[in-house]
Amino acid sequence: MRSSTLLLALVASGYALELPFTSLKRGLASLFPRKNGNKCPPAWTTVSQDLTKMFLTNGQCNDDARAAIRAAFHDCGTWNKAQGAKGGCDGSLILAQEYNRAENNGLQAISAKLLDLSKTRSVGVADMIAFAGAHAIVTCPSGPQVKTYIGRKDSSTPAPDGLLPDVNASGDSLFALFQDKGFDAVDLAALVGAHTTSKQFFVDQAQAGKPQDSTPGVWDVKFYGETLAEPPPPGNFRFASDLALSKQVQVGKEFKGFVDNQGKWSGKFADAMSRMLLLGVPGGADALTDCTDALPRSTGKKRDIKSAPMFKPRS
């Protein structure tokens, strides 16, 4: 009898609890094998230490952290279904100097820093962008730990134009754009919440440096309520695209569901972002190595889940 069959028989007969823990663990491992048995290279633990120093200032995530989050979105987000197993998270933001495109303005400095770090630690640029984005998210107080994989192939082929969201786009067009990347209304509503840590510098030069919510150094849900507020808080800058999404029929319903609901948002965002970081990667997660454990632990996950309502009605 195979070990997995024996384990099932023991469970069914009520004797599994009498097995030593190590034996039970081995049996479960045979039933649910890991997607990739490779261990995360130790270089990524060192990279994580480097990034913590880069991203954290006075206990909050700083401008480098928010730029790294944006960089991950802008490298991976240039993918659509027509490209298949190429493009997306391939490092072309840096390697093809896409950071010089108008929609990527402001990413030049973080691109240079991440390129230097990838050379210093002898790791891939595409992996560095994805890992740094996930690291920056969890560095922010209350930021979730996003499932993060390593092993992407770098590319210096420029991504197609027109596949990143426009700040003045309508809600319907933005939803269609993200559907073509494989995301639904819940995913998009969750992903746009990354603006909780963002600041604008180029949409309106007269208001350069204004954040999209009142606590840009903290990963929280104030962005949702403050985007919907009329009038919005005076210190905030509200993107027209964010307001459009908050009013779009399908996305707006989910957008409102995240107001004052940190626990729900953290889980939905982490799930959608983990998939964002795999766009265009041949074979997806199965072809890569899980390096999530090299990231810092979330500072507020348990607290957020404990304080979140179990079932919050949608308005």
66, 70, 74, 113: the catalytic one is 74
| CATH code assigned at 218 | 1.10.520.10
Q: What is the pLDDT of residue 27?
A: 41
Looking at the domain assignment, is residue 29 inside a domain? Answer: no
Q: Single out the residue of 103, 307, 98 nearest to residue 88, CA to CA.
A: 98
Query: pTM for this one?
Result: 0.85
Place of tokens 């440096």: 209
Looking at the domain assignment, is residue 251 inside a domain? Answer: yes
Counted domains in the chain: 1
Higher pLDDT, 218 or 11: 218
Is it true that the peptide bond before 141 is cis, omega within 30 degrees of 0?
A: no
Residues of the chain with pLDDT > 90, as a percent, come to 82
Annotated binding site for heme b: 195
Q: What is the rounded average pLDDT of the residues 58-75?
A: 98
For 152-201, write each residue's pLDDT tens digit: 999 999 999 999 999 999 999 999 999 999 999 999 999 999 999 999 99
Looking at the domain assignment, is residue 304 inside a domain? Answer: no
* Cβ atoms 270, 17 nearer than 8 A: no
Looking at the domain assignment, is residue 19 inside a domain? Answer: no
Domain residue limits at 222: 42-299
CB count within 10 Å of CB 241 equals 20
Q: What is the rounded average pLDDT of the residues 290-300?
A: 90
Looking at the domain assignment, is residue 24 inside a domain? Answer: no
Q: Would residue 135 show up in a list of annotated catalytic residues for this protein?
A: no
Annotated binding site for Ca(2+): 75, 88, 90, 92, 196, 213, 215, 220
Looking at the domain assignment, is residue 18 inside a domain? Answer: no
Q: What is the pLDDT of residue 298?
A: 85
* Cβ atoms 269, 194 nearer than 8 A: yes
Q: Single out the residue of 294, 226, 224 nearest to residue 256, CA to CA.
A: 224
Residue 202 has pLDDT above 50, yes or no: yes
User: How do 56-57 and 199-200 pair as beta strands?
Assistant: unpaired
Looking at the domain assignment, is residue 10 inside a domain? Answer: no
